[in-house]
Amino acid sequence: MTRFALTPVLAEASAAGRAVAAFNVIQIEHAEAYAAAAERVGLPVVMQISENCVRYHGSLAPIAAATLAIADACTMPVVVHLDHAEDVSLVEEAVRLGLTSVMFDGSTLADDENRAVTRRVVALCGSAGISVEAELGEVGGKDGVHAPGVRTDPDDAARFVADTGVDALAVAVGSSHAMTDRTAELDTDLIAALRSSVPVPLVLHGSSGVPDSGLVAAVGAGMTKVNIATHLNQVFTRAMTARLEASPTVDTRTYLGAARDAVTDEAARLLALLALH
Ligand SMILES: [Zn+2]
């Protein structure tokens, strides 16, 4: 199977009433785990590289090359997505490197500037067949639209999609980034209202803080892409630490391998959970 743009993968999932999980790649082991998980459960997966991850590695090209190679070798459809890009030149680089989807995050920009830059990103990606996800950035605050208490208005969301032409929209319905406990309560009535007013697939960010039952309810109400990062980082770190404590070693393959196995198991479980409908 080859790499896919986000749009057809989400369209198929939406028609079937399920959602696609999007997991963040930081080390190469993450991408290996997600490919193995997708093959185990027979479902597509989105592998995301965030602008923060690019900053960590110092550039996009090496981690993108590794992720794209793993995606191309996977027997299931894989979307390779640039997550939370605030820099248009990074989007241009992602297009050149062959990523198939980008999220442009203009949430720190003034509303009219966010719309204008998002339109520009849609134009430059559209000609290359690359999907664009955006988030509605009218609400300020440290965490943008994902701050607890912030909610996306269905009419605003519909206008934003019409103004920009994006292929998917991240909305604020009660989750928040980087939560390390799974206690967030989502507003499923709002998800349903957004689903009926917004013509493109809805994306849930900050899903690590949402319990399994909340994720299933969110998909039932109309979420089609569910981003999970922090939760899998916890799984990775716990497994690595446990292995190192049980048998101290300098062979990095031993404990990174244990972490990769644990992430594969949990990613496979989450992929299947989001496809329950
Ligand atoms: Zn996010």
Name the amino acid, one letter, at 93.
Answer: E
pTM of structure: 0.94
* pLDDT score, position 138: 42
- Residue 83: active-site member: yes
Q: Which of 72, 83, 112, 212 is catalytic?
A: 83
How far is ligand 1, taken at its centre, from the CA of residue 12, in Å?
Answer: 22
CA R_g for the chain: 18
Q: Which residues pair with 101 in a beta bridge?
A: 81, 131
How far is ligand 1, taken at its centre, from the CA of residue 246, in Å?
Answer: 34
- What is the rounded CA–CA span in Å between residue 96 and residue 162? 27
How far is ligand 1, taken at its centre, from the CA of residue 277, in Å?
Answer: 24
Average pLDDT rounded to a whole number, residues 211-233:
95
CA distances (Å), origin 177, targets 60, 228, 240: 22, 9, 23
- What is the rounded CA–CA span in Å between residue 103 and residue 105? 6
Does pLDDT of 142 surpass 70? no
Domains, the chain, with CATH or none: 6-274 (3.20.20.70)
The residue whose two tokens read 């027979």 is: 42
Does pLDDT of 136 surpass 70? yes
* pLDDT score, position 199: 97
How far is ligand 1, taken at its centre, from the CA of residue 103, in Å?
Answer: 9
pLDDT tens digits, 61-118: 999 999 999 999 999 999 999 999 999 999 999 999 999 999 999 988 888 999 999 9
CA distances (Å), origin 85, targets 3, 74, 105, 106: 20, 25, 6, 8
Does pLDDT of 1 surpass 80? no
* pLDDT score, position 157: 94
DSSP codes of every residue in 103-160 = EE--TTS-HHHHHHHHHHHHHHHHTTT-EEEEE---S-STTGGGSTT----HHHHHHH
Name the amino acid, one letter, at 70.
Answer: I
Going by the DSSP 8-state scheme, the letter that residue 27 receives in this structure is S
pLDDT tens digits, 145-204: 566 667 899 999 999 999 999 999 999 888 777 778 887 788 899 999 999 999 999 999
How far is ligand 1, taken at its centre, from the CA of residue 94, in Å?
Answer: 18
Going by the DSSP 8-state scheme, the letter that residue 174 receives in this structure is S
How far is ligand 1, taken at its centre, from the CA of residue 202, in Å?
Answer: 13
